[in-house]
Amino acid sequence: MAESPIITFYSPRAGAGNTVTMAHVASILARDGLDVLAVDMNLKAPALHEYFGIPQEDVDCGFFDMILDYKELFKNTDEEFPEHAISIDKYIKEVPLYLDNGSLSIIPAHKFSFKDEIDNIDNYNKIIETFDWDIFRCYWKSYEFMEYLKEQFKAVADVILIDGGSNFVEPSAIAVLQLADDISIQFAYNNINLKDLKTVIRYIAKKKQSSEMWLHPSYINTDDVDHMNKWEKRTVGALKRYIPFLDENILRVNAIPYDVQFTAGNHSAIEVLPENIIAPYSRIAKDIAGKI
């Protein structure tokens, strides 16, 4: 078996469905017999645990807490970089799929459960909002720590899926540019998404030339063929310079249809859904399984 791949799910703008897409893909891969680790790095809008049926009161630590614990460890050591920085086991929660083969675990974005009440919650949220990622990168050896985490992730799972959030701010940029082997991008057919998508893909193509980028237009009204044709042509025209194999047919096949009964937030990723709903996610899962 090849080295466990890390796939980051990312959207140029919030609301394009990268979290719900990743949740369903993770569930499908686990049901297909793989050990899957899902990591929520979407600190601005953490929701991955909800799609896996884990209530907030059960989330007592997560990815951001791992960073805070690492900083505390680094602050109290004389080593240039702590040889055994952090054990990720503490931050992993198992998702109750009860499979004979395969498993699904999650590292949530951050803790939601507090022993004390509102004062702690407000203070903690302020720490997240004001965390200085530039200082973390410059003075806390963030690159080395993320490389360490990458090794840790790959050691515990057959495949690692990361919710990289949106808008390409930290830690989304870390999830896309440093941790990811390949990138699954969900986006909407509109001018703002296409403009931001082009900017991000141009940057990714320059920085990560060895990575594959899979584009998935999301929440598409497949009955409006004219609208699909128009935006498929516009998207290929804007991006083909950076993704030479991209064409209208790929976008049509990769599209994730909109269904009013199964919009984001209306269903759990641990449910067994109708085939017409799950089919787009199954195609993504098949592409990822081909990397293993």
Q: Would residue 40 count as lying in a domain?
A: yes
Q: Would residue 129 count as lying in a domain?
A: yes
Six-digit token pair at 244?
Answer: 């030479």
Residues 6+ apart with CB under 8 A from 61: 90, 91, 108, 110, 111
266 lies in which domain range?
6-289
pLDDT of residue 97: 79
Closest CA to 62 of 84, 42, 85: 42
pLDDT of residue 114: 62
pTM attached to this predicted model = 0.91
Q: Would residue 1 count as lying in a domain?
A: no
Total number of domains constituting the chain:
1
User: What's the gap between Cα 151 and its chain centre?
Assistant: 17
Distance between CA 102 and CA 99 in Å, rounded?
6
CATH value at residue 161: 3.40.50.300
pLDDT of residue 86: 80
Query: Rounded to whole angstroms, what are the CA distances from 246 to 17, 73, 132, 289?
Result: 21, 45, 37, 21
Q: Would residue 216 count as lying in a domain?
A: yes
pLDDT of residue 113: 67
Q: Would residue 125 count as lying in a domain?
A: yes
Greatest Cα pair distance, the chain, in angstroms, is 63
The one-letter code for the residue type at 260 is V
Q: Is 124 helix (H, G, I), strand (E, B) or coil?
A: helix
Distance between CA 234 and CA 239 in Å, rounded?
9
Rg of the chain, C-alpha, whole Å: 19
pLDDT of residue 178: 93
pLDDT of residue 82: 64
pLDDT of residue 174: 92
Six-digit token pair at 71?
Answer: 């900083």
Q: Would residue 257 count as lying in a domain?
A: yes
Q: Would residue 255 count as lying in a domain?
A: yes
Q: What is the pLDDT along the chain (292 residues), one digit of tens a residue?
A: 568 999 999 999 888 889 989 999 999 999 999 999 999 999 888 889 988 888 888 888 899 999 998 888 877 776 676 666 788 999 999 998 777 889 999 999 888 766 555 556 677 778 888 899 999 888 888 898 999 999 999 999 999 999 998 887 788 899 999 999 999 999 999 999 999 999 999 988 888 767 788 999 988 888 889 999 999 999 999 999 999 899 999 999 999 887 655 555 556 777 777 777 788 888 999 999 888 8
- Edge-to-edge strand ranges of the sheet holding 35-40: 93-94, 103-107, 35-40, 159-166, 6-11, 182-187, 213-220, 256-257
